[in-house]
């Protein structure tokens, strides 16, 4: 059974489930590549400081994933001004890790959440499945999973 008790976002932490979800959603790639948006990416979706031709291994990539997830969580939490539960936290973190803290903080997701429209915020995640003007099937699936998690359905 999922925990639906809401509390201050700052009191929640990145769960093991969230880290596994991030690793699965991002997938592991040992050599840097340009993602669909043209951003150099490596490991489990890491983009910060990644250079073309850079290499990593699974252990280093997992360590980096944990550090990046923590950094994204801190940025995300700074933009959440209402209580949330662990499922919501994990879903918003997956969303934030994929899109970036600035995108989350400026999104309709955060706006609805901070207006106490919990269901609307979870459903607004579904709108973020494009790269530029192109809808991406993998992002649609990811956003559906995040939205379901956020709503406590998974």
Q: What is the pTM of this model?
A: 0.92
H helix intervals, 13-79: 16-26, 58-77
Contact 19, 96 (CB under 8 A): no
CATH fold of 9-150: Lysozyme (1.10.530)
Q: Cα(34)–Cα(2) distance, rounded to whole angstroms?
A: 37
Q: Assign residue 45 a region (left: φ > 0; alpha: ψ between -120 and 50; beta: otherwise).
A: left
How is the chain split into domains, by residue range? 9-150
32-84 per-position pLDDT tens digit: 999 998 999 999 999 999 999 999 999 999 999 999 999 999 999 999 999 99
- When pLDDT is averaged across residues 90-109 and rounded to a whole number, the result is 97
């Amino acid at each position: 059974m999922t925990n639906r008790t809401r509390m201050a976002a700052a009191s929640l932490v990145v769960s093991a489930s969230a880290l596994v979800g991030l690793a699965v959603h991002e997938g592991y790639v040992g050599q840097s590549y340009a993602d669909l948006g043209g951003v150099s990416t490596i490991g489990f979706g890491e983009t910060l400081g990644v250079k073309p031709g850079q290499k990593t291994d699974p252990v280093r990539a997992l360590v980096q994933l944990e550090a990046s997830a923590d950094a994204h969580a801190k940025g995300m939490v700074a933009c959440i001004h209402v209580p949330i539960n662990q499922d919501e936290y994990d879903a918003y973190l997956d969303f934030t890790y994929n899109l970036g803290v600035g995108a989350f903080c400026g999104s309709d997701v955060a706006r609805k959440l901070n207006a106490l429209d919990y269901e609307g915020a979870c459903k607004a995640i579904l709108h973020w499945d494009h790269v530029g003007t192109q809808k991406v099937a993998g992002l649609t699936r990811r956003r559906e999973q995040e939205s379901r998690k956020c709503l406590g359905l998974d």
